[in-house]
Amino acid sequence: MAGKDPKAGWTVEAKALSWVWDQAAAHRRATFRILAALGLLAGVWWVVVFPGAAGMLVIAAAAATLWATFQFARSDDTRQALAPVPVIATVDPLRVTFTPSRPMAAFAPPVEGMRAIEVGVTLATKPRVDDDGDDEAQGELQFLDEGALRPWTLPIWTPGYGCTDLLVAGAKGSGKTRFYWAVVDGLREWVKSGHVQLWGLDPKRVGLGIGRPMFKKLWTPRGEVPKKWGEGAADLLEEAVDVMESRLDSMDQRGVTEHTPTPEEPLILIVLDEIARMRLAREKAIRDRIEDSIMTIIEEGRAPCLSMLIATQDPRERALGQMRELIPQRVAFRLLHRNQCDMVLGEGARESGAKADLIPRNQPGMAYMVVDDDESKPQRVKSHFLTNDEIARMVELYAPPRSA
């Protein structure tokens, strides 16, 4: 009969033994540890009552078994509790269920790993057409099944090629700032080990300050007089150019054409939070110093390992000039106008499907990306979205030690 207790009629002793057996089966590792501990106590008793080598052998075997169970037989719950909280955030669960996590590494991985740092997921999509057969009204927002998701990786430094630059454009609230932190998170082990140095320019004073300890150098306009606004940024960029020129001289003397990042001479990634804001400098001389240094790093920084991540809300010609044509990797988050898609990603990008102007406001982190040497169509991607708490956790675990 349904609901009948199979243990009905059992004696109390039988039920107790059954309960013990069920608990042992459900907690096998804990049971094994208890038995090993009891064996250890039995060995001690044996040595006390019957001194001799046999008792010592029992103690040694039980102790070794107990140690092994704690070292190699941790339950999944225990292992998860002991492991650091993963820093990488999950992407929007309403759209993507890909949830990457990387446990904290004891040592930095090989620098060759910087050829593909994970910053999000690549999304496979197909047009969602309305009743009139027009996909312009709703855009390409229909996702394929979850099995079509792949990690979105970026090459920051590649052996035999060097480092690369990255241009990011998007309207306010499109997810650009969180994307910076996804890049930093992808590089966190090398930042910790000193193989990568982060330099930052934060003219808005809100994008990079939350993770200030991750940066070797970080400029904000705080304290600068209006007439000299931007002078500190110009100084920082010229310092980077000096480092680059010094490395190029050293490489020339040694007869090498490529620099490999080391803790002594790391890859320097310069994050510029809003390039259009740098034009607010009142003095033309300061604006020229900033633009000249940026152009020099973009043109010559690949081999000596100086890279730039440049972001802007304004992809028009006056904000970027010829920089756009020199940056091989370009990402367009939500844009305000359809003609801005080609401004960021290149001529014909929107016609190829990169309709960044149709990305909804409620999808921050959604973007399209092109790579100059890739003949395929623009990729639809979604950046990892790190919360402030996750950024703080990353800083706590991976901020590089400060020099005295």
Q: In the chain, what are the domain boundaries?
A: 12-82, 111-398
Cα 171 to Cα 168, 198, 257, distances in angstroms:
10, 24, 39
For the chain, how many residues are written?
Answer: 404
| pLDDT higher at 83 or 8 | 8
| pLDDT higher at 118 or 276 | 118
Q: Are 356 and 125 contacting, i.e. CB atoms less than 8 angstroms apart?
A: no
pLDDT of residue 149: 74
Average pLDDT, the chain: 78
Helix (H, G, I), strand (E, B) or coil at 318: helix
Residue range 153-166, pLDDT digits in tens: 999 999 999 999 99
| pLDDT higher at 316 or 381 | 381
Residue range 54-109, pLDDT digits in tens: 667 767 776 776 666 555 444 433 333 333 333 333 334 333 333 344 555 556 68
Q: Is the pLDDT of residue 199 over 90?
A: yes
**CA dihedral of 217, 222, 226, 232, whole degrees rounded to 10:** -10
Q: For domain 111-398, is the CATH number 3.40.50.300?
A: yes
**CA dihedral of 324, 329, 331, 332, whole degrees rounded to 10:** 40
Q: Give the strand pairing for 329-332 and 166-169.
A: parallel
Q: Are 392 and 85 contacting, i.e. CB atoms less than 8 angstroms apart?
A: no
- Round to whole Å and give the CA distance between 29 and 285: 70
Q: Is the pLDDT of residue 359 over 70?
A: yes
Residue at 313: amino acid letter:
Q
Q: Is the pLDDT of residue 289 over 90?
A: yes
pLDDT of residue 402: 75
pLDDT of residue 164: 92
Residue range 207-239, pLDDT digits in tens: 888 899 999 999 998 888 888 888 999 999 999
- Round to whole Å and give the CA distance between 106 and 113: 16
Token look-up 């993963």 returns: 86
pLDDT of residue 66: 63
Q: How confident is the model at residue 198 (pLDDT cuts 50, 70, 90)?
A: very high
